[in-house]
Chain A
């Protein structure tokens, strides 16, 4: 079916999402909880876009296209809300994320990177699991995007990771919060590969590459 992205028509399959239509049109919109290998999750709200006739910005990743939908990736309200969300995300980290991370890139795209922090309040607790030979977990860098948990579930099928807690305290745990070494983790690295903040990394591999 035919849809419109930023004024240009593009042909997409009937079951396409708004995000797929944006990509088909050669356009982009920032995302944080999205990984094309995983089912859309709709948690981060950074992919908000304008849709003609909708009551407000719509998340591109979980919104299905309909014929003749008009999508606007430059919608001012959507960009403003997305930027505000990423500013909130940065405010929950005790330290800024590393410059090379996906979170830092998205923050730069939305113009909130390097800004004087406006939100001063509770931050994530520093807690680390560095005992596994290939995988390191720094809980204070986790933004609860769920990508690692879904990678372990949908890609690897190991189910070694889970979301934990609720509200501001939401986080992740490996196994019954025992860390990578004592869990059913098979060391595949899918979680580290998808992590947008370096909360989960493969330090062993980085050392080899260096």
Chain B
């Protein structure tokens, strides 16, 4: 990202100015579409050049679609695809009399696509205003009396004393402030071998160590709450049911690396999460767990909450920081890593919210107790979530090393309504696809990697025996191409070409496809272009006869 623009956003932040993106979001929510006058106001308020603001206004999904007096959004995530094959989109278009991405001539109603609303346990999902409706009868309600808030299943843990599926009580921070030096806390987190839960699995202790060692008086902790993976609603549960645990993890990270300010970026597709987090922050301030001189320890730490604007790639850490700065959410080449040069150019820890939610346990009970949670496997526990195709969908806290069969048949009750499992996509859209025949694979980093799959963020999407795997390829590649940030050439052009290869009835030239997958894997700047080939390779390996290869 341009150093000049980052410098300008840093100045805006210092004087308490809103970001350009915040002004643009507010304008679109107020008047339904952006005008040049809105862009000029955003430029003046944020201190950014007008051209820069124009570029920002053309990047984010939330700013692009015109809004009617009623603005309805339909989820086109992978769980909704697995539930209907995509038919719910056309059904809603017909019920509302409005085409996707358009606004009715009289301005009464508009319909836009969104990925993903995190109601994957009750697909298909829809949103009207702040209300998310899903499942049986939702289309009828939206076309008729109006949407109603969908129910969400309770989350559960296989542990008698859950690490993650619990309300935070700040005891980890209390213990650290009274009994551990920052160095000792960093040592515990490193010894616990906590790996990032956002997808890449990078050791959190090492990341923190880089930021702690980086020069600079001001450092930041950023909680990545941009859970964009279609089919995943783990961070939604964490942010909405246990915001204290995430905030406590951030404060602990701040204590360990010497940062006094944290930012949570929560995605706009989870309309409830922001308010819940803001209330949790206010409550923590009242109780003295956030703010200056936390519990008379001399440690200062406070948190602000920001909302995204509809971009999958903003989950990548450099793009996430650009979004927080209010700039275009494009990926930057690393190095420099955010740990050294991050938010507003300052050393920054960027951790997924689930990663941070593990830290209070480590601070309170130590690295050894943490490593003992999953004997003989990756330390700690993992949240996984199951889609609507399962008999008992929901979020579960599980031990690493548990077999996929135990997860899918034991916890999630197998496939619903007498259907059978065809394949799973694990860990998000960049995760490989595991055919039902490999269900005895253990759920862990190395074991899944050996089968071309990954833990990723822990979303488990089942496809039943009726699923057309060529349509799965088309669904995934369309998502990949739509969400490419457009910076690096292989991803920008290559994903569009891959999507085109699977269009309509075209015969797919296998050699050319494999050449393109190599270009994406080895050439792309970030894990988006680099990772999209993984599920396509799985489909080539396990379902070649369904892909229309030539």
Contacts and interface: CB of A to CB of B under 8 A. Distances in A.
B15 interface: no
Contact of A166 (B2, B335, B486): B486
A99 interface: no
A168 B516 CA distance: 16
Interface stretch (A6-14, A20-28, A77-85, A194-202): A77-85
B523 A43 contact: no
Interface in A145-176: 146, 150, 153-154, 157, 159-170, 173-176
Contacts of A160: 49, 51
Nearest to B332: A42
B14 interface: no
Interface string B193-237: 000000000000000000000000000000000000000000000
B383 to A, nearest CB: 29
Contact of B50 (A121, A167, A175): A175
A4 interface: no
Contacts of A119: 497
Interface stretch (B52-60, B134-142, B272-280): B52-60
Contacts of A85: 489-490, 494, 519, 523
A203 interface: no
Contacts of B2: 150, 153-154
A144 B525 contact: no
B59 A166 contact: yes
Contacts of B524: 45
A177 interface: yes
A97 interface: no
Given A84-B515, A170-B487, A121 B522 contact: no
Contacts of B59: 164-166
Nearest to A121: B500
Given A57-B522, A91-B493, A45 B52 contact: no
Interface stretch (B260-268, B348-356, B476-484): B476-484
B330 interface: yes
Q: Identify which of B5, B39, B311, B333 gathers the most chain A CB atoms within 10 Å of its CB.
A: B333
Interface residues of B, number: 50
Contacts of A173: 51, 54-55, 58
A153 B493 contact: no
A190 to B, nearest CB: 14
Contacts of A150: 2
Contacts of B328: 163, 166
A134 interface: no
A164 to B, nearest CB: 4
Given A162-B54, A168-B492, A45 B525 contact: yes
A195 B429 CA distance: 35
A175 B51 contact: yes
- Of A43, A146, A161, chain B has the most CB atoms within 10 Å of the CB of A43
B482 A153 contact: no
Interface string B387-408: 0000000000000000000000
Interface string A59-96: 10010100000000000010011101100110110000
5 contacts: A57-B523, A81-B523, A159-B4, A162-B52, A168-B495
Interface of B: 2-5, 36, 39-40, 49-55, 58-59, 311, 328, 330, 332-335, 481-490, 492-497, 500, 512, 515-516, 518-519, 521-525
Given A44-B489, A80-B518, 9 more contacts: A59-B525, A81-B490, A88-B497, A121-B497, A144-B492, A153-B2, A154-B2, A166-B483, A183-B51
Question: Closest 4 interchain pairs by CB?
Answer: A170-B486, A42-B333, A162-B55, A159-B49
